[in-house]
């Protein structure tokens, strides 16, 4: 199973909860790491693989919701499953809005936990894949010269060769040459493929001024 | 036994019987015989005897018998009768000792003398006769044993007084009886009235029957003056009494009626005035008698006849004739028939009684009100108490609910842990990966979690057990020293220095000592935990007693970091803790205990570091 490559992080200040849940998930063939608090989790070596975080809301120091916010801002691909003993509606709404996979109130059922974990892991893989594609696209885009990047941005905004040439005050033929170069560097043949890579790399189209 | 009692009693009675006999037989005992010429019912004689007895019994120290003999000469004036009764008295006096004889007017002495009363010759005699006599001169006293008191009845002042009181009244009516004596006084009045008011008409009504007299009396004009001097016998010598006549006549008479003797006091109707007093005569005679009994010779005694007159008025009659406040009535007059103004006579008694009744009424009303108010208060009190109990119960219930909610949350931790340990076990088992090390770990975890759940429940139980324990007098010094004793071992282990001062005179509170120890110990444990990371030299726990107005505050101060602002407001709520051990239930329990003691519990940060936990309780007297 590909479970082996995922790591589930448990962050809870209650030792019994940490111990029991990690044991259970280990029994379900998951890799588990557990931490008593947000600070301890953040202090560890950054993890780049897929996985998820089972996070207690009521933590000493930085609490669960605060940690989630920080993870969101870091564009973490580790989805969060909240667990709590003192849950309330507003907390759960806030947590789910920020992208938490689930909000489980102790004592939650094993199916619920496993379901949430597998959802979270699937999401993690997807996020990880997207992240990787975007990374590849950015590497490819980075091979382009500044002029080529500029022309690419105009393409993205839907301008024709002629219009670009006019805009840059160069010959239409030169524009075509640049486009070929871009295709070659991005290792694609069609314009839609170029546009897809540029999109993944997060290139923002130039303003189309006529 | 019974017989002996009887004998004793008889003996005792006999003794009582003999004692007075002895006394009577004493040497000084004297007997006075008083001879009164007319019948016994005469009020004049009664007045005389009253006065006489008064002075004799007051003036003579030894026992004195007074024998009174009524000659009843008015009814039977014949000599034969007189002779017979004198014989009878002679016989009587032979049997009786006689030390003094008194004869009263009119003509008692002449008759007794005439018919030969032997005692008159050998016994001292006081004879009282009118002057001039009613009848021709009687034999004068025969020996020096006889003292003669001559009564000069001078009615002029009496008549003058009547005219003075009624200056407008013209005609003078004189109503009298038939007897010689009656006529004697009639003539005195007629003469006086004629002398004083020569122009006034003088009409004498006498000799008729009472009925006919009354018929005439009815016709007397209002502006007349009526005198009734004496009415000793009516028609056919029927004995009568002057006061009786005055009473009857005045009833039918429209004009004022005047008597001339004090005997009118025995009835109603006569106005009174300047009258001859038989009472005074009796008194004077009594004094004279005492002198003679004491050995003075009768011949050497003189009696002042002027003292016999006296102003006597019938108060009711004065009122009737509107003379009550007249300046003509001498202030030293004797007033008879005085209408007792009940209030003025018993003013103080009445005032006291009224005051007493009023004060009693006020007291009763006050007590009644007090009683009602007390009932209301008692009712209110019981209602308040009920309400308080209700609130207390409800508050307790609320705390229980709160506690239960907290407890259920808290219990979720070990329950969840147990569940997942077991699930893990099953999964390992199913996949055939369960080795003994893992199994041991799982079971170990489950046991620990279960224990934790059990402890949680146990700690909550202690909260529920708080109420209705016996309370008593608690010595605060002992409370402190004993709690310190319990905590001391822990303090040494943790390196904590405990400081406290005890007042020389211990203070007392009313409460449950064990519960209060629990609170204090809880404070000390919290303080110890708070100073876990404090420098070893600064690990000081201080117990302070502060007294306020009727209260004592006992506080535990630590040198830790103080109370976290985040939990400061809810520090007394259950399951709030910053400690790694325990469930945060200690302060909640403490609060319940102190509330149950009507006290206050506080948690504060000390400026400059550390926290202070305190409770305040009401002080009680040592003797209480």
B125 and B37 fall within a common domain: yes
A126 within domain boundaries: yes
A207 within domain boundaries: no
Confidence of residue A35 (pLDDT cuts 50, 70, 90): very high
A36 and A114 fall within a common domain: yes
Q: Do B413 and A26 touch (CB under 8 A)?
A: no
Contact, B511 vs B471, CB < 8 A?
yes
CA angle, B466 then B573 then A64, to 5°: 145
Residue A114 contacts B where some CB pair is shorter than 8 Å: no
Contact, B618 vs B551, CB < 8 A?
yes
CATH number at residue A149: 1.10.10.10
B199 within domain boundaries: yes
- Mean of pLDDT values over B307-324: 86
- pLDDT at residue number B459: 65
B187 and B328 fall within a common domain: yes
B497, containing H or E segment: strand B497-500
Range of the domain at A60: 2-131
A24 and A95 fall within a common domain: yes
B299 within domain boundaries: no
- pLDDT at residue number A87: 65
DSSP B57-121: HHH--S-EEEEEEE--TTT---HHHHHHHHHHHHHHHHHS--SEEEE-TTTHHHHHHHTT-THHH
pLDDT over 60 (residue B18): no
A22 and A124 fall within a common domain: yes
Q: Do B413 and A27 touch (CB under 8 A)?
A: no
B369 and B264 fall within a common domain: no
- pLDDT at residue number A19: 92
B341 and B353 fall within a common domain: no
pTM equals 0.44
Q: Give B520-552 pLDDT, tens digit per residue.
A: 888 888 888 889 888 888 889 999 999 888 899
B340 and B364 fall within a common domain: no
pLDDT over 50 (residue A1): no
Nearest-neighbour CA in chain B from A189: distance (Å): 51
Confidence of residue B569 (pLDDT cuts 50, 70, 90): confident
Tell me which chain B residues have a C-beta less than 8 angstroms from the C-beta of A87. none
- What is the distance between the alpha carbons of residues A152 and B288, in angstroms, rounded to a whole number? 174
Of B117, B151, B185, the domain-final residue: B151
B134 and B267 fall within a common domain: no
ipTM of the complex as predicted: 0.77
Strand-pair category, B64-70 with B125-130:
unpaired
Q: Do B409 and A85 touch (CB under 8 A)?
A: yes
Contact, B250 vs B269, CB < 8 A?
yes
Q: Give B234-281 pLDDT, tens digit per residue.
A: 777 777 788 888 888 888 888 888 898 888 888 888 888 888 889 989
B597 and B488 fall within a common domain: yes
Q: Do B417 and A16 touch (CB under 8 A)?
A: yes
Q: What ranges make up the beta strands (E) of B512-572?
A: 540-547, 551-557
Please state the domain count of chain A: 2
A122 and A153 fall within a common domain: no
Of A131, A158, A187, the domain-final residue: A131
A138 within domain boundaries: no
CATH number at residue B427: 1.10.287.130
B182 within domain boundaries: yes
Give the chain A residue whose CA is nearest to the CA of B405: A86
- What is the distance between the alpha carbons of residues B522 and B27, in angstroms, rounded to a whole number? 109
Crossing angle of helices B436-464 and B347-430, in 10° steps, is 170
Q: Which of A99-113, B387-401, B534-548 has the lowest mean pLDDT?
A: B387-401
Give 3-state DSSP helix, strand, coil % of chain B, rounded to 5. Answer: 50, 15, 30
A92 and A181 fall within a common domain: no
Residue B449 contacts A where some CB pair is shorter than 8 Å: yes
A206 within domain boundaries: no
B103 within domain boundaries: yes
Tell me which chain B residues have a C-beta less than 8 angstroms from the C-beta of A106. 412-413, 415-416
Highest-pLDDT range among A67-76, A79-88, B465-474: A67-76
Contact, B16 vs B251, CB < 8 A?
no
- pLDDT at residue number A40: 92
Q: Do B409 and A26 touch (CB under 8 A)?
A: no
For tokens 């808290």, the residue is B410
Closest CA to B595 of B456, B393, B458: B393
B363 and B321 fall within a common domain: no
pLDDT over 90 (residue A147): no
A126 and A149 fall within a common domain: no
B215 within domain boundaries: yes
Instruction: Tell me the Ramachandran region of residue A61: left when phi exceeds 0, alpha when psi lies from -120 to 50, beta otherwise.
Output: left
B142 and B169 fall within a common domain: no
Residue A107 contacts B where some CB pair is shorter than 8 Å: yes
Tell me which chain B residues have a C-beta less than 8 angstroms from the C-beta of A17. 413, 416-417, 420
A14 and A79 fall within a common domain: yes
- pLDDT at residue number B30: 86
Of B446, B464, B482, the domain-final residue: B464
Confidence of residue A208 (pLDDT cuts 50, 70, 90): low
A9 and A108 fall within a common domain: yes
- pLDDT at residue number B14: 47
Q: Give B52-110 pLDDT, tens digit per residue.
A: 998 888 888 888 888 888 888 876 667 888 888 888 888 888 888 888 889 887 778 88
Contact, B244 vs B231, CB < 8 A?
yes
Tokens of B316: 């009711």
Q: Do B428 and A108 touch (CB under 8 A)?
A: no
Confidence of residue B25 (pLDDT cuts 50, 70, 90): very low
Q: Do B421 and A19 touch (CB under 8 A)?
A: yes
- What is the distance between the alpha carbons of residues B474 and B476, in angstroms, rounded to a whole number? 6
In three-state secondary structure terms, B580 is: coil
Contact, A28 vs A4, CB < 8 A?
no
Residue B424 contacts A where some CB pair is shorter than 8 Å: yes
State the DSSP code for B339.
-
Of A131, A154, A183, the domain-final residue: A131
Contact, B279 vs B55, CB < 8 A?
no
Main-chain dihedrals φ then ψ at residue A109, nearest 5 degrees: -85, 150
**Dmax (CA) of chain B:** 176
A8 within domain boundaries: yes
Task: Enumerate the β-bridge partners of residue B619.
Answer: B509
- Mean of pLDDT values over B160-172: 86
User: What does the mean pLDDT of chain A come to?
Assistant: 86
CATH number at residue A11: 3.40.50.2300
DSSP chain A: -GGGG-EEEEE-S-HHHHHHHHHHHHHTT-EEEEESSHHHHHHSPP--SSEEEEEESS-SSS-HHHHHHHHHHTT-S--EEEEESS--HHHHHHHHHTT-SEEEESSPPHHHHHHHHHHHHHHHHHHHHHHHHHHHHHHHHHTS-HHHHHHHHHHHTT--HHHHHHHHTS-HHHHHHHHHHHHHHHT--SHHHHHHHHHHTTPPPPP---
Of B447, B464, B481, the domain-final residue: B464
- pLDDT at residue number B10: 52
Q: Give A73-99 pLDDT, tens digit per residue.
A: 888 889 999 998 766 777 888 888 888
Give the chain B residue whose CA is nearest to the CA of A111: B423
Contact, B165 vs B273, CB < 8 A?
yes
B20 within domain boundaries: no
A190 within domain boundaries: yes
- pLDDT at residue number B196: 85
B19 within domain boundaries: no
Confidence of residue B584 (pLDDT cuts 50, 70, 90): low
Nearest-neighbour CA in chain A from B428: distance (Å): 5
CATH number at residue B51: 3.40.50.2300
Q: Give B415-434 pLDDT, tens digit per residue.
A: 999 999 999 999 999 988 88
B384 within domain boundaries: yes
pLDDT over 80 (residue B575): no
Confidence of residue A210 (pLDDT cuts 50, 70, 90): very low
Residue A158 contacts B where some CB pair is shorter than 8 Å: no
User: What does the mean pLDDT of chain B come to?
Assistant: 82
Tokens of A99: 């992208």
B389 and B328 fall within a common domain: no
A104 within domain boundaries: yes
Confidence of residue B555 (pLDDT cuts 50, 70, 90): very high
A82 and A178 fall within a common domain: no
A210 within domain boundaries: no
pLDDT over 70 (residue B449): yes
- What is the distance between the alpha carbons of residues B304 and B150, in angstroms, rounded to a whole number? 10
A69 and A109 fall within a common domain: yes
3-state SS of B225-259? Answer: EEECCCCCECHHHCECCHHHHHHHHHHHCCCCEEC
Of A85, A103, A131, the domain-final residue: A131
Q: Give B170-208 pLDDT, tens digit per residue.
A: 888 988 888 888 888 888 888 888 888 888 888 888 877
B95 and B207 fall within a common domain: no
CB atoms within 10 A of CB B287: 19
CATH number at residue B558: 3.30.565.10
Please state the domain count of chain B: 4
- What is the distance between the alpha carbons of residues A17 and B412, in angstroms, rounded to a whole number? 10
Range of the domain at B551: 472-620
Q: Give A153-207 pLDDT, tens digit per residue.
A: 888 888 888 888 888 888 888 888 888 888 888 888 887 888 888 888 877 777 6
Residue B414 contacts A where some CB pair is shorter than 8 Å: yes
B448 and B375 fall within a common domain: yes
pLDDT over 70 (residue B456): yes
- What is the distance between the alpha carbons of residues B77 and B39, in angstroms, rounded to a whole number? 12
């Amino acid at each position: 199973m590909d479970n082996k490559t995922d790591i589930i992080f448990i962050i809870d200040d209650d030792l019994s909860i940490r111990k029991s849940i990690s044991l259970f998930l280990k029994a379900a063939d998951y890799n588990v790491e557990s931490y008593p608090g947000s600070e301890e989790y953040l202090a560890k070596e950054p993890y780049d693989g897929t996985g998820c975080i089972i996070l207690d809301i009521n933590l000493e120091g930085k609490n669960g919701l605060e940690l989630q916010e920080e993870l969101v801002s870091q564009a973490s691909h580790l989805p969060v499953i909240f667990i709590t003993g003192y849950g309330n509606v507003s907390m759960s709404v806030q947590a789910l809005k920020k992208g938490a996979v689930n909000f489980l109130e102790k004592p939650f059922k094993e199916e619920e936990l496993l379901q949430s974990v597998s959802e979270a892991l699937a999401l993690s893989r997807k996020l990880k894949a997207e992240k990787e594609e975007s990374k590849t696209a950015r590497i490819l885009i980075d091979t382009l010269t500044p002029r080529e990047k500029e022309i690419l941005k105009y393409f993205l905004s839907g301008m024709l060769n002629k219009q670009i040439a006019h805009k840059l005050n160069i010959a239409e033929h030169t524009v075509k040459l640049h486009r070929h170069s871009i295709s070659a560097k991005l290792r694609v043949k069609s314009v839609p493929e170029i546009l897809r890579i540029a999109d993944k790399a997060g290139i923002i189209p130039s303003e189309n001024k006529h | 036994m019974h017989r002996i009692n009887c004998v004793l009693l008889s003996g005792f009675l006999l003794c009582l019987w003999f004692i007075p006999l002895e006394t009577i037989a004493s040497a000084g005992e004297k007997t006075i015989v008083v001879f009164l010429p007319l019948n016994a019912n005469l009020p004049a004689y009664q007045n005389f005897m009253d006065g006489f007895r008064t002075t004799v019994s007051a003036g003579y120290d030894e026992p004195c018998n007074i024998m009174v003999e009524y000659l009843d000469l008015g009814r039977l004036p014949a000599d034969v009768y007189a002779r017979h009764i004198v014989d009878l008295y002679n016989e009587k006096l032979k049997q009786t000792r006689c030390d003094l004889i008194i004869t009263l007017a009119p003509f008692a002495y002449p008759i007794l003398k005439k018919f030969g009363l032997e005692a008159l010759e050998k016994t001292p005699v006081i004879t009282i006769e009118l002057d001039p006599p009613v009848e021709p001169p009687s034999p004068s006293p025969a020996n020096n044993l006889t003292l003669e008191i001559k009564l000069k009845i001078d009615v002029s002042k009496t008549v003058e007084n009547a005219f003075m009181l009624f200056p407008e009244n013209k005609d003078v009516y004189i109503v009298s009886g038939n007897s010689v004596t009656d006529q004697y006084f009639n003539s005195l009045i007629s003469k006086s009235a004629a002398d004083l008011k020569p122009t006034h008409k003088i009409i004498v009504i006498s000799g008729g029957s009472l009925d006919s007299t009354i018929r005439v009396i009815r016709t007397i004009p209002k502006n007349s003056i009526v005198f009734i001097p004496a009415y000793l016998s009516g028609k056919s010598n029927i004995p009568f009494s002057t006061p009786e006549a005055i009473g009857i006549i005045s009833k039918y008479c429209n004009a004022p009626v005047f008597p001339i003797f004090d005997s009118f006091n025995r009835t109603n109707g006569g106005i009174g005035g300047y009258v001859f007093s038989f009472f005074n005569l009796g008194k004077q005679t009594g004094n004279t008698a005492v002198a003679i009994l004491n050995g003075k010779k009768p011949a050497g005694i003189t009696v002042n006849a002027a003292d016999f007159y006296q102003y006597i008025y019938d108060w009711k009659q004065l009122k009737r004739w509107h003379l009550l406040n007249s300046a003509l009535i001498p202030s030293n007059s004797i007033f008879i028939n005085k209408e007792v103004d009940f209030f003025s006579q018993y003013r103080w008694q009445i005032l006291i009684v009224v005051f007493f009744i009023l004060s009693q009424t006020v007291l009763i009303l006050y007590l009644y009100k007090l009683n009602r108010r007390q009932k209301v208060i008692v009712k209110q009190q019981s209602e308040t108490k009920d309400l308080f109990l209700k609130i207390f119960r409800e508050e307790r219930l609320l705390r229980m609910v709160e506690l239960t909610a907290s407890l259920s949350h808290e219990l979720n931790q070990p329950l969840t842990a147990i569940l997942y340990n077991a699930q893990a076990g099953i999964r390992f088992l199913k996949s055939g990966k369960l080795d003994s090390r893992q199994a041991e770990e799982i079971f170990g975890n489950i046991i620990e979690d279960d224990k934790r759940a059990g402890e949680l429940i146990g700690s909550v139980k202690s909260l529920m057990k708080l109420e209705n324990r016996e309370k008593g007098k608690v010595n605060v010094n002992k409370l402190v020293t004993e709690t310190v004793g319990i905590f001391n071992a822990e303090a040494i282990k943790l390196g904590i220095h405990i400081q406290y001062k005890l007042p020389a005179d211990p203070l007392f509170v009313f409460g449950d000592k064990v519960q209060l120890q629990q609170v204090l110990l809880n404070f000390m444990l919290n303080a110890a935990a708070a100073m876990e990371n404090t420098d070893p030299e600064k690990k000081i726990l201080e117990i302070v007693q502060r007294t306020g107005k009727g209260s004592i505050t006992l506080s535990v101060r630590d040198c830790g970091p103080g109370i976290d602002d985040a939990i400061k407001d809810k520090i007394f709520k259950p399951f709030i803790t910053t400690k790694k051990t325990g469930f945060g239930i200690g302060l909640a329990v403490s609060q319940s205990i102190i509330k149950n003691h009507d006290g206050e519990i506080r948690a504060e940060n000390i400026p400059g570091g550390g926290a202070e936990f305190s409770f305040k309780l009401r002080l009680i007297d040592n003797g209480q």
